[in-house]
Structure formats: structure tokens, C-alpha cells
Amino acid sequence: MSTVRIDGLNKMYRSVPALTNIELDMGTGVFGLLGPNGAGKTTLMKILSTLLPYEEGRVTIYDLDLAKEGDQVRGLLGYLPQHFHVPMQFTGREFLHYAGSMKGLTNHKARSGQVERLLEEVNLLPQADKKIKSYSGGMIRRLGIAQALLGEPRFIMLDEPTAGLDPSERIRFRNVIEKLGDNHTVILSTHIISDIETSCGQVAVLNKGSLLYQGTTQGLAQKAADGVWEFQVPYADYDKVAKEFAFISSRREMNHAIFRVIAKEPPHIHAAAVQPTIEDGYMAVINGVLS
């Protein structure tokens, strides 16, 4: 069932288009938003969070019209911005009480119930009374998720939530996000393909303000089907070959370098076709090499 629908959305910054004719349809679950820098991901999230006006298009969130019913829409939203600033002198628990009051949770008992439940959900109960300035980057992000979930929103947007996290923090964070997808609509914007791979059922790819793909992660991988090749050359030739081919990755094995290339035809006499990954599909869609 569709929970968030976007039809013909256009956004300009002065005369520069930032989003062009976006059509998107989301349901419950974690929805990945992928795209390089400047693709328009933050702009889209800011529009959906009612922070930014748009020129054209229709957006409905749980049957509410974003343009006409912004106040009600705000009651359904939880947002973790890309740059999440917290008062470092607060403890985690104090901050969540403060953020809850700002969201209109004025009844102390009801707010406390939510704060304690969320601290547990994001695994911060043991550190709840420590000052935020002693938290790691991962803990601050998890606190950010907790604040986004105050007020029991149904639609949650997380803008680059795993940027700068170490691998173990990233795994912890993903577990929290995956659980959320069971009964919320979650948009997760990222450059990190492995976040999408593990957490998202559906994905959209934006580039230069245009939507290039919407569908499953497997479908995205298939966008590079029959177009991913690997070949090996002596390691001594690495620099020469690297200059010649627009490769998507390379690795060293003993005295050889193995190059991975997306192309319609075999790019090298020793090239062998390999199974596409989500990253290959993403690169094929962004660079348009196979279309």
C-alpha cells in the first residue's frame, strides 16, 4: 500500500533546477535514496519534511496533501538531518526530554514513557545520564534517531545517517533502522551502497535532480546485467591500464591487477562477464553506459 506519493515534483533554487519531475511511490519499509553529491537528496527530504517550498507537483503523505495540510503532515514526521546538532552539555536523557517538549509532548509522564522506550530501542540506556560531549559519533546518531522517533511518527527521514560511523557503529545503527521498517515508512539517504544492500527493500537513484531508477535492490543490480567485466593484467602494467579504462574498481591478487569495468562489449581480450552487484547497477544507471 502506498504511504507516500510524489507526482510531478519540481524544485528550483532561483533559476537552477534542483529536482525535475520527480515521481515516487513508497510503502511501509525502508526506502533507500541513493545519489552522488548534489543529486537532490537533501532537497527532497527537506521538501517532504515541510521545511522547503516547491514550485510544482503533488505530494501526499498518508493521504494528507503536503501543500494544504502541512501542519497535520508535520505530526506524522520524524527527521534526522544530515548535520545533526545537539547541545553537548545535556545528557542524552535531558536532550530527549527537551526535544520531546519542542514536539509538543508536554505531559511529563507520557513524554518520560517515550523517552525511556526510545533510549532502550537505540541502545543508549546505559549512557543516558552521561553528557553528550562524551558520546561517540555513532551514539550521537542513535540519539538523533531517538529524537526523530519522539511523538511516534509514521514517516521517518534519515539523511546520511551512517556517514562517519565506524563499522561496528554502522552495524548497530542498521539494526535499529531495519526494525523501524517493520511498521514505518523510512527514507534513508546515503552514498554508501552497503547500507542500502542490508537495510532497504526498495531504492531510488537520483542524479542531477532527476530520478533515474525506482525499484528493488536486485532490480538495480540487474541494470548492469550482461555489462560487467573483469580482466587481469600484470601488476606492473597497472598505471597504463588504469589510464586507458574507466574502471569501477580494481584489486591486486599476487602479481596481477584485476580490473572491473562496465561496458556493452568485452573491454579487453581477456575480459570475462561477472555477476552484477548493486554498486555495478548504480554505476551503470548514474553513468548511463549501458543505455
Ligand X SMILES: Nc1ncnc2c1ncn2[C@@H]1O[C@H](COP(=O)(O)OP(=O)(O)OP(=O)(O)O)[C@@H](O)[C@H]1O
Contact positions vs ligand X (CB under 6 A): 13, 18, 35, 37-43, 82
Closest CA relative to residue 40, chosen from 204, 192, 175, 150? 204
Residue whose C-alpha is closest to residue 24's, from 52, 53, 66: 66
Closest CA to 247 of 228, 265, 234: 228
Q: How far is the CB of 46 from ligand X (least distance, A)?
A: 8
Q: Give the separation between CA 159 and CA 157, rounded to whole angstroms.
A: 6
Find the shortest distance in angstroms from Cβ 116 to ligand X.
33
Q: Which is nearer to ligand X, 43 or 232 (CB)?
A: 43
- Residue 17 vs 75, nearer CB to ligand X: 17
Q: Which residue stretches of the chain are H helix?
A: 41-48, 70-74, 92-102, 108-121, 137-149, 167-180, 193-199, 217-222, 238-244, 278-287
Min dist CB 24 to ligand X, Å, is: 15
Instruction: State the Cα–Cα distance between residues 82 and 39, nearest whole angstrom.
Output: 14
Report which of 203, 198, 199 is spatially closest to residue 223, judged by C-alpha positions: 203
Between 87 and 137, CB nearer to ligand X: 137
> Which residue's C-alpha cell is 586507458?
244
Residue among 84, 88, 85, 110 nearest 97 (CA): 110
Residue 40: CB minimum distance to ligand X, A: 4
Determine the Cα–Cα distance for residues 53 and 66; give it in Å rounded to an integer.
10
Cα–Cα distance, 129 to 78 (Å, whole number): 24
Which CB sits closer to ligand X, 39 or 211? Answer: 39
Cβ contacts of 12-17, under 8 Å, gap ≥ 24: 12/55, 17/209
The least distance separating ligand X from the CB of residue 233, rounded to whole angstroms, comes to 34
Q: Of the two residues 40 and 138, which places its CB atom closer to ligand X in the complex?
A: 40
Nearest residue to 80 via CA among 159, 177, 192: 159
Q: Provide the minimum distance between the beta carbon of 184 and ligand X in the complex, in angstroms, as a whole number.
A: 22
Minimum CB separation from ligand X for residue 37, in Å? 4
Output 41 or 142, the one with its CB closest to ligand X.
41
Task: Check if the beta carbon of residue 29 is closer than 8 Å to that of residue 185.
Answer: yes
Closest CB 208 distance from ligand X, rounded Å? 8
165: closest CA among 155, 180, 176? 176
